Structure 1
Amino acid sequence: MSIAVFYAPNAKDFSYLSEEESFHAIRVLRLKVGEVIHLLDGRGSKYATKISAIEGKKVSFGALELIESEPKPSYTIHLYVAPTKQMERMEWMVEKCGEFGIHGIHFFASKNSERKEIKLHRLEKTAISALKQSKNLYLPEITGLHTFKEISAKKGEEKLFAFISNPPVAVLSKTALKGKEYHVLVGPEGDFTSDESATLKNNHWKPFSLGKSILRTETAGIAVCHGLHILNID
């Protein structure tokens, strides 16, 4: 039988699960006092512990044993996306990028954006679920909704943006350098305007292609995440 995994970002400071994680432990998994559980802090560490008490809606745990630790990777991926009208598609993207392993997912509004507000809490819950399912040790940072101006002026080591053109520019694998801190922009389904593309180029963002097919926003985000991981496989 597999050991239940919970997200506990403050496990070293507080010896109890959050209300949401406690509910899952008690009501869904029906765990009992004395059972072994694993905790993820979302910052590279995994612990083993035992449930020490169940009091109402709160699950407490005992001493922590560090069973896995992962140093920060040699590269990081921060994805910036103009959200679609259907948030379910953004949740799916967050889930899949989380399974692959990503360090930040950030949302911004551009001229052709379909959505001007997002519910970060739902996306954060999706990211936590993906963290536990995939057994990754780092929870991605999720932020938004930023303005295009804020994002376009961002400083970074390797800045790239998905660009649809005819003829197409070079593909991601031939544009991105290996082992970098990546900041990658994926525009709305109406694409960036010509003025926005010009602004990005003037601010040292490098355009890249994801191939001849026109991808949905969420598909492009996942393709970027996976492509950069593949690029950095030794």
Structure 2
Amino acid sequence: MSIAVFYAPNAKDSSYLSEEESFHAIRVLRLRVGETIHLLDGRGSKFSTNIAALEGKKVAFGPLEVVESEPAPAYSIHLYVAPTKQMERMEWMVEKCGEFGIHGIHFFASKNSERKEIKLQRLEKTAISALKQSKNLYLPEITGLHTFKEIADKEGGEKLFAFISNPPVSVLMKTAAKNKEYHVIVGPEGDFTPEESDILSKNNWKPFSLGKSILRTETAGIAVCLGLHILNAD
């Protein structure tokens, strides 16, 4: 039988699971005192412990033993996305990028954006679920809704943006260098306006292509994440 995994960002400073994780342990999994559980802090560590007590609606756990620890990789991926009208598609993207492993997913509004607000809490829950399912050790940061200018003005790292053109620009795998702090923008389904593309280029964002097919926003986000992992695989 597999050992239940819980998200506990303050595992070293607290001996209790959160209310939501406690509910899952008690009401859904029906765990009992003495059972072994694993905790993920979302910052590179996995711990083994046991359920020490069930105190009302909260689960208390015992001393921690580090069973897995992973240093931050030589590269990191931060994805910037203009959210689609259907939020379920963004949740799916967050889930899949989280399974592959990503450090940040940030949402912004541009002229052709279909959505002007997002529910961060739902997206954060999706990211936590993906963390536990995939057994990754790093939880991505989820932020938004930023303005286009805030993203365009960003400094540092390797800055890339998906660009649809004819003829197409160079593909992502040939544009990005290895072992970088990647900041990658995927625009709205109506694409960036010419003015927005010009602003990105003037702010040293490098355009790249994801191939001849026109991808949905969420598909492009996942393709970026996977492509950068493959680029750095060796």
User: Could you tell me the TM-score, scaled by structure 2's length?
Assistant: 1.00
Partners of 2:196 and 2:156 in 1: CA distance: 18
Partner residue, 1:51: 51
1:202 is aligned to 2:214: no
State the distance in 2 between where 1:30 and 1:137 align: 25
Sequence identity (%)? 85
Distance 1:68 1:38 in 2: 10
Residue 97 of structure 2 is aligned to residue 97 of structure 1 = yes
Query: Aligned letter for 2:75?
Result: Y
| Counterpart code for 1:183 | H
Aligned to 1:4: 4
Amino acid at match of 2:121: H
Unaligned residue ranges in structure 2 (runs of 5+): none
Structure 1, residues 99-132: CA drift from partner, whole Å, max 9, x if none?
A: 0000000000000000000000000000000000
**Matched length:** 234
Please give the alpha-carbon distance, in whole angstroms, between the structure 2 residues aligned to 1:156 and 1:143: 18
Partner SS for 1:13: coil
Question: What residue identity is the alignment partner of 1:169?
Answer: V
Displacement of 1:216 in angstroms is 0.2
Aligned residue type for 2:223: A
- 2:159 corresponds to 1:149: no
Rounded to whole Å, the distance in 1 between the matches of 2:65 and 2:32 is 19
Contact 1:99/1:130 (8 A) holds in 2: yes
Moved runs in structure 1, 4+ residues, more than 4 A? none
Aligned 1:65-76 pairs, distance under 5 A: 65-76=65-76
Tell me which residue corresponds to 2:190.
190
- Contact between 1:51 and 1:59, CA under 8 Å: does it hold in 2? yes
Residues 154-197 of structure 1: CA distance to partner in whole angstroms, max 9, x if unpaired?
A: 01220000000000000000000000000000000000000000
Letter of the structure 2 residue corresponding to residue 232 of structure 1: N
Separation in structure 2 between the aligned mates of residue 53 and residue 215 of structure 1, nearest angstrom: 50
Distance across 1 between alignment mates of 2:77 and 2:93: 14
Structure 1 unaligned segments of length 5 or more: list them. Answer: none
Contact 1:112/1:188 (8 A) holds in 2: yes
Q: Are 1:87 and 2:98 counterparts? A: no
1:1-234 matches, within 5 Å, as 1-234=1-234
Instruction: Indicate conservation of the 8 Å contact 1:156/1:182, yes or no.
Output: no
Contact 1:75 1:180 in 2 (8 A): yes
In 2, Cα distance between the equivalents of 1:32 and 1:133?
22
TM-score, with structure 1 as normaliser: 1.00
Displacement of 1:55? 1.3
Q: Which residue type is aligned with residue 196 of structure 2?
A: E
Give the Å deviation of 1:59: 0.3
Q: Using the alignment, how far apart are the partners of 2:187 and 2:130 within structure 1?
A: 24
Tell me the SS of whatever aligns to 2:200. helix
Q: Deviations over 1:64-120 (max 9, x none)?
A: 001100000000000000000000000000000000000000000000000000000
TM superposition shift of 1:30: 0.3
C-alpha displacement at 1:22, in angstroms? 0.2
Paired letter, 1:149: K
Q: Which secondary structure does the structure 2 equivalent of 1:3 belong to?
A: coil
